[in-house]
Structure 1
Amino acid sequence: MTTESVLSYKNASKSYGAAQALRNVDLDIRRGEIFGFIGPDGAGKTTMMRMALGIINPDGGECRLLGQLNRRRARARAGYVPQLFSLYQNMSVMENINLFGSLYGKAAAEVTERAEFILSRVGLWGFRDRFAGRLSGGMKQKLALAIGLLNTPEILLLDEPTTGVDPVARREFWALLYQFNHEGLTIVVSTPYMDEAELCTRKLFLNRGKILDVGTTAELISRYEYRLLSLETAAKGVGAWLRGRPHIVDENMFGSKYHIVTDDLQGARESIAAAFAEHGAALPPMRDIGAGLEDLFVSFAGRED
């Protein structure tokens, strides 16, 4: 992986009326990365994608795609997979490919040759005559991926491409992304799934239009300022019992366990023991654990600024 920047934002801001979607964003994405945009709904992820492609322009600052301020021109060397499946449901897989190939200005023979290669890679060549509307959710996303790769891009942007897709199809989709990345394709993806975020070379946390942190998983976790206790209990209302007690910064449920965020492990243990004693409940085992990306996501998503 080189240090060449293929997508950059310099003090970029964007507002929609009174709502500020991006606030002074600075970011450089390097060639060869799989870069992840992470943040809650409304954080600004789609705005960053649309700005990268030249669909919208910043109100202040700048954004460059493949080194160009004219991102619409640079888009000829970029691919895009939108959040919602937006291909033609009453057209076959191949008819969709031919339509988008013509929009890219490619000759019919060139489209056919590229289509066979890409559809074979994503496992859809045998379904080329099936209506897009009759494909499964995972197959629809593979078709959207094939369309995004039709012009042999240098960078591919994907906006929450696997939302609503079953876990097996998500794994297959990401296996394809890794294959194309290993062949030199730079990938930028927004995702609500932390297991997918783990697969990204680097990632950023975005909330309320502001980048809160950028780095590898190890770098992000190393900057997490709190400690965590894992607490597994069947008792009801534990979150309310602990809320506001000394050294309990936050409490979040992960499956059957609580992750207790604390600024002092021993102080938190004492607060937890006191809460359970007050409610006549047996004190469950407590375990000191390391933070994960989900813990960081919850922490960042809860910040007002």
Structure 2
Amino acid sequence: MRRTVTTTPAIDIRGLRVIRGKHEVLHSLDLQVSAGSITGLLGPSGCGKTTLMRAIVGTQIVESGEVRVLGDLAGSVALRRRVGYVTQSPSVYGDLTVTRNVQYFGALYGKSGADVAAAVDAVGLSRYADRTAADLSGGQRGRVSLACALVASPDVLILDEPTVGLDPVLRVELWERFADLARSGTTLLVSSHVMDEADHCAELILMRDGHLLAQLTPDELRAKTRCERLEDAFLELIRTSPVGGEIS
């Protein structure tokens, strides 16, 4: 069923600061994520992508600022059935089969057996449906985690580097699945440190060292930097951006 897409941002972040120990991890971030779209969160490892995602789902202690998701404060009870989160490390039960893992999460949302099968098929694991998660590869366990999130049909889906360790064919298939979800009205925020995945996104949030460098479309990034390859464009953006500031 297609969701109604509005012009109101699905995610609205104002002045977000996160401090860990004596180190400021996120520096007064202001950004919005459009509803019913795929937004890429890109930057090198350690730039703050995962911390930002944890703040969006409400599991990160913040120093100051406000994060709203679908109009509610991040972490609100009202969002528990509306926001899905897939972490970098697979969150599955090793002694359960693929199907049983997805059934467990599906039962929390009243999903049917057909919904479970569809989620398993969407991540390319139908042939492994009866295999226990402990007997799968790391990449396959990551796909089980993704299926557990997909079965809930969340309005907002937060994906932390979901394609790491996957073969090229499956990566393409997953991005096609993400595009289908966006067309149905789901909002996806997908992190990656691989710039060649950026072309799958309607908009990009580019980060470095906890700062927001820019928020723009892939074509706008190319035009701004006069670089055709997005990896070259990102490197050029870093070179021309003021330290600790967003490029205009």
Is the alpha carbon distance of 1:121 and 1:165 closer, same or farther for their aligned partners in structure 2, counting shifts above 3 Å? closer
Q: 1:296 aligns to what?
A: 233
- Say if 2:183 is the partner of 1:182: yes
Q: 2:17 aligns to what?
A: 13
TM-score by length of 2: 0.86
Give the superposition deviation at 1:220.
1.8
SS at match of 2:72: coil
Amino acid paired to 1:135:
L
How far apart, in 1, do the equivalents of 2:140 and 2:232 lie? 32
Amino acid paired to 2:52:
M
Q: 1:40 aligns to what?
A: 44
Q: 1:130 aligns to what?
A: 131
Does the CA contact (< 8 Å) of 1:39 and 1:301 recur in 2?
Answer: no
Q: Deviations over 1:232-266 (max 9, x none)?
A: xxxxxxxxxxxxxxxxxxxxxxxxxxxxxxxxxxx
Does the CA contact (< 8 Å) of 1:137 and 1:165 recur in 2?
Answer: no
Q: 1:254 aligns to what?
A: none
Give the superposition deviation at 1:170.
1.2
Q: 1:270 aligns to what?
A: none
- Say if 2:15 is the partner of 1:78: no
Give the superposition deviation at 1:137.
4.9
Give the superposition deviation at 1:45.
0.4
How far apart, in 2, do the equivalents of 1:189 and 1:166 lie? 18
How far apart, in 2, do the equivalents of 1:168 and 1:70 lie? 35
Q: 1:238 aligns to what?
A: none
Does the CA contact (< 8 Å) of 2:102 and 2:120 recur in 1?
Answer: no
Equivalent position to 1:23, from 11, 19, 27: 27
| Number of equivalent positions | 237
SS at match of 1:8: strand
**Structure 1 alignment gaps of length 5 or more:** 228-289
How far apart, in 1, do the equivalents of 2:163 and 2:171 lie? 6
Q: 2:56 aligns to what?
A: 52
Is the alpha carbon distance of 1:14 and 1:209 closer, same or farther for their aligned partners in structure 2, counting shifts above 3 Å? same
Where relative contact order (Cα < 8 A, 6+ residues apart) is larger, the structure is 2
SS at match of 1:5: coil
**Structure 2 alignment gaps of length 5 or more:** none
Q: Deviations over 1:192-218 (max 9, x none)?
A: 111211110000110111101110012
How far apart, in 2, do the equivalents of 1:11 and 1:148 lie? 29
Does the CA contact (< 8 Å) of 1:97 and 1:115 recur in 2?
Answer: yes
Q: 2:71 aligns to what?
A: 67
How far apart, in 2, do the equivalents of 1:53 and 1:154 lie? 13
Does the CA contact (< 8 Å) of 1:138 and 1:166 recur in 2?
Answer: no
How far apart, in 2, do the equivalents of 1:135 and 1:154 lie? 29
How far apart, in 1, do the equivalents of 2:63 and 2:136 lie? 40
Does the CA contact (< 8 Å) of 1:53 and 1:71 recur in 2?
Answer: yes
How far apart, in 2, do the equivalents of 1:42 and 1:99 lie? 33
Is the alpha carbon distance of 1:91 and 1:64 closer, same or farther for their aligned partners in structure 2, counting shifts above 3 Å? same
